[in-house]
Structure 1
Amino acid sequence: MERKKIAFFCWESMYSERVGGLANAATYVAQELAKRNDVHFFTRGDCDFTFNGVHYHGVRPEGGNIIEYCRNMSHGMVNRFKEFDRKPFDILHFHDWHVTEALHLLKERNTVFTYHSTEYGRNGNQHGDWWEYHEICGKEWYAGLVAKQVTTVSNVLREEVMNLYQVPDWKIRVFPNGVIPEQFDVDLDQGAIKADLGIHPYAPTILFIGRMAYQKGPDLLLDALPRVKDQFWGMQVIMAGDGGMRPWLSQVAYDRGLPVRFPGYISDAEYVRLLKAADLVVIPSRNEPFGIVLPEAWSAGKPVVACDVGGLHENIESYRDGIKVEVSADQIAEGICQALEDTDRLPKFGRSGRSKVYRQFRWEGIAENLDCMYGTVCS
């Protein structure tokens, strides 16, 4: 395959400013592409550096609100891009709405725009009259209009984008997010980790990891826990991650006497450790374009109970590699109880999920398919 010069535009990366799962997705696919291409990554940061074959170029934006901030960031990215465009880039790949103005300024080039989610999905229809909501939706619509090629991370998100923004079906393709399963498939003793956490080795331990936001459904999980607590002795729950709902969730758990701990933002190493401590991973999202926690949990050999939405709906085969439930506290409780009642079945779910990861969600194969698609955009 002919070597290409590729520019990524993304407001976060794993090695500079990092906000959520977008950083991992964009960074890992850039690294895979860099094994056979020249990849430059324009993002927020204070310096330029090269790591794992990718050339990172930082900008430091400013603005009185998120819209002004991203406009300033996009202009800064385009200025930096021009410094390295003497030998012209073959492909310009833009990730999510934050960089739409950069896409606008470079719209005559070979452009690809990826929806990792939509503002409609992130806010769970709770937008009211927020002016920012309408501004962001407008940028998402415009990006789908002017980009030469559009991609999404799941078929459900593809349908959502087509319905919301009238992107034609011939223009939009699906490339799932991936994982590096070896990062999670490590030899750690579950009992020893539980002991370090002050948890009895036989106590059923549930893990939630994600933003403490309405979209991710942490409140649904809390509402499900009283029934689980009554049925399973010693149940312990770890809800890791940060976000606006965290103080309220912590107070609710305390008021209800629920055995939940909130460690806040955790490192990647601690995440792997907590996955190994857990008996079950619960993903109670109301909206989930892909759901990266799913293949990460599977990579660690862990079973999952997840709401039947988005990428979770597409990728889980219920009662084979996990349990899918409706988006409600009662159904989440039912799914957790079903999972914990059958301790023989749980490891089988985890093993089936891990096998699926190696078949479908390794970054090498995803990047290879994406690289082939780039060739069609260039032609």
Structure 2
Amino acid sequence: MESLKIAIFCWESLYAERVGGLAPAATHLAETLAKTYEVHFFTRGWIPDQTVNNVSYHYCQPQGINIVEYCNSMSLGMVEQFKKADRNQKFDCLHFNDWHPVQALHLLQDRNTILTFHSTEYGRSGNHFGDWWEFKEISGKEWYGGLIAKRVTAVSASLKNEVMQLYNVPDWKCDVIPNGIVPYQYYAQVDAAEVKRSYGMDPSETLILFIGRLAYQKGPDLLIGAIKTVCQNHRDAKLIVAGEGDMRQLLEERAKDLPVNFVGYIPDAEYIRLLNACDLVVIPSRNEPFGLVLLEAWSAKKGVVASNVGGLSENIDAFIDGVKVEPHQEELAEGIDGILSNPSQAEAFGKRGRKKIDRQFRWDPIGKKMIDTYARVVT
């Protein structure tokens, strides 16, 4: 398509309010598309509108006493900003990300709309149905968004199947378009010995890294349970847990006699130091629709032990570029024990993973796939 004016709606971005993996995914897609097309990004933030890397960012300041009211307020603010940018030249396609801007999708449903599922509330709840009101409200918005959007995309085949089963989205309507990564942003030459010393470790000790939300979905409790077994065979193994979440206090109690260091939220620069200094990255998720941490670890040429679920299962070739185990602490311990017993294997897995990124997860070809989806709704 020679020319397009694209509107992207997402509740987070890299340059204002940022929460998790959705921010880099949506921002880098926008910047990739902006190399060729006019792209506007509608999000929230307490800063003036700006243009970064050819993407025009429009910010709103939502309010609400709970997450549902907050996102409804955000959607109304997005639509107000959208209408201003839509006056002189109409947008060709409107791309919404996850459930947060579904109220905006509702108000603009007569346009050429695409909804991308990065996850589902069912998955975020650990593959079970919740009975609290927020679960029902958010799940309802996901169903409604899948119903009214002209086209739907999912970041993995597993997530597509989940969306089809949960919300009756027909197969013909949903495309699988994975996330990508900018690998050089996660690779750095670091002094691993110095990094380990800064966390109270001896340079000869083995550093295992977990980063993510401390929530049931991400399985940090499985990892804590596994570490006790791992340390029986590898007394030099130490685990650093980076991230915050509701499970932190429980996890700290379970790990009080184990070599585990909870470092909480860390800035990007510190994450890059740890990622490039560690000996192994573990991703013990119970549900993982894609798993950006996997691509980040591969970008740093690190070996990975990950749960055999969702996008992790799809993207890892077992014992070629990573180890896949069922999300149970016994299997997790066995996978970690095996790779720590053969450090050269972990290194080889990381290098092969880095090559896979160039073959499958660069943003330019992924952007072209998204344009193909846009073409199906632009008339």
Partner Cα separation in structure 1 for residue 278 and residue 350 of structure 2: 12
2:101 partner SS: helix
Q: Which whole-Å deviations, capped at 9, do the CAs of 1:61-107 have from their partners, x for residues lacking one?
A: 11121111111111111011000101100110000001111000000
Residue 110 in structure 1 maps to residue 112 in structure 2: yes
Matches within 5 A, 1:69-84: 69-84=70-85
Q: Name the counterpart of 1:65.
A: 66
Q: Is the 8 A contact 2:71 2:100 kept in 1?
A: yes
Q: Which whole-Å deviations, capped at 9, do the CAs of 1:24-78 have from their partners, x for residues lacking one?
A: 1111111111111111111111221111111111111111211111111111110
1:39 partner SS: strand
AA aligned to 1:275 is L
Q: Which whole-Å deviations, capped at 9, do the CAs of 1:213-260 have from their partners, x for residues lacking one?
A: 000000000000111111112211111011111122122211xx1111
Q: Is the 8 A contact 2:301 2:353 kept in 1?
A: yes
1:93 partner SS: strand
Residue 249 in structure 1 maps to residue 251 in structure 2: yes
Matches within 5 A, 1:217-232: 217-232=219-234
Gaps of 5+ in 2: none
Residue 137 in structure 1 maps to residue 139 in structure 2: yes
Q: Name the counterpart of 1:353.
A: 353
Cα drift, residue 126 of structure 1: 4.9
Matches within 5 A, 1:250-289: 250-254=252-256, 257-289=257-289
Q: Name the counterpart of 1:238.
A: 240
Q: Which whole-Å deviations, capped at 9, do the CAs of 1:270-289 have from their partners, x for residues lacking one?
A: 11110111100000000000
Q: Name the counterpart of 1:197.
A: 199
1:314 partner SS: helix
Which region of structure 1 is more displaced relative to structure 2, 340-349 or 109-118?
Answer: 340-349
Cα drift, residue 345 of structure 1: 1.1
Residue 28 in structure 1 maps to residue 28 in structure 2: yes
Which region of structure 1 is more displaced relative to structure 2, 86-95 or 67-76?
Answer: 67-76
RMSD, aligned CA: 1.1
Q: Which whole-Å deviations, capped at 9, do the CAs of 1:318-351 have from their partners, x for residues lacking one?
A: 1111100011000000000001011221111111
Q: Which whole-Å deviations, capped at 9, do the CAs of 1:120-167 have from their partners, x for residues lacking one?
A: 000014554201111111110111111011000000000000011110
Q: Is the 8 A contact 2:290 2:310 kept in 1?
A: yes
Partner Cα separation in structure 2 for residue 272 and residue 64 of structure 1: 35
Gaps of 5+ in 1: none
Q: Name the counterpart of 1:50.
A: 51
AA aligned to 2:176 is V
1:293 partner SS: helix
Instruction: Compute the TM-score of the two structures, normalised by the length of structure 2.
Output: 0.97
Partner Cα separation in structure 1 for residue 186 and residue 345 of structure 2: 21
Cα drift, residue 187 of structure 1: 1.9
Q: Name the counterpart of 1:376.
A: 376
2:337 partner SS: helix
1:92 partner SS: strand
Q: Name the counterpart of 1:326.
A: 326
AA aligned to 1:187 is Q
Cα drift, residue 268 of structure 1: 1.3
Partner Cα separation in structure 2 for residue 127 and residue 311 of structure 1: 21
2:110 partner SS: coil
Partner Cα separation in structure 1 for residue 131 and residue 199 of structure 2: 44
Which region of structure 1 is more displaced relative to structure 2, 260-269 or 172-181?
Answer: 260-269
1:321 partner SS: coil
Which region of structure 1 is more displaced relative to structure 2, 61-70 or 152-161?
Answer: 61-70
Residue 121 in structure 1 maps to residue 123 in structure 2: yes
Q: Name the counterpart of 2:12.
A: 12
AA aligned to 2:65 is G
Partner Cα separation in structure 2 for residue 344 and residue 65 of structure 1: 49
Sort the Cα spacing of 1:273 and 1:185 in 2 relative to 1 into closer, same or farther, 3 A.
same
Q: Name the counterpart of 1:307.
A: 307
2:343 partner SS: coil
AA aligned to 1:285 is S
Partner Cα separation in structure 2 for residue 128 and residue 154 of structure 1: 23
Partner Cα separation in structure 2 for residue 189 and residue 21 of structure 1: 27
Partner Cα separation in structure 2 for residue 11 and residue 137 of structure 1: 17
Which region of structure 1 is more displaced relative to structure 2, 158-167 or 233-242?
Answer: 233-242
Q: Is the 8 A contact 2:130 2:136 kept in 1?
A: no
Cα drift, residue 377 of structure 1: 1.7
Aligned residues with identical type, % of pairs: 57
Cα drift, residue 14 of structure 1: 1.1
Which region of structure 1 is more displaced relative to structure 2, 185-194 or 20-29?
Answer: 185-194
The total of aligned residue pairs comes to 377
2:281 partner SS: strand
Which region of structure 1 is more displaced relative to structure 2, 186-195 or 9-18?
Answer: 186-195
